[in-house]
Structure 1
Amino acid sequence: MNTKTYSDNTSPSMLHLDQQMCFALYSANLALNKVYRKLLGELDLTYPQYLVMLVLWQQDELMVSDIGEKLFLDSATLTPLLKRLETAGLLTRRRAQVDERQVIITLTDAGRALQQKALSIPEAVACASECSVEEMTAIKQQLQTLRGHLHKKA
Structure 2
Amino acid sequence: MASQASLLLQKQLKDLCKNPVDGFSAGLVDENNIFEWSVTIIGPPDTLYEGGFFNAIMSFPPNYPNSPPTVKFTSEIWHPNVYPDGRVCISILHPPGDDPNGYELASERWMPVHTVESIVLSIISMLSSPNDESPANVEAANGERQEMNSRGRLAAA
TM-score normalized by the length of structure 2: 0.21
Higher Cα Rg: structure 1 or 2?
A: 1
Structure holding more helix per residue: 1
Structure holding more strand per residue: 2
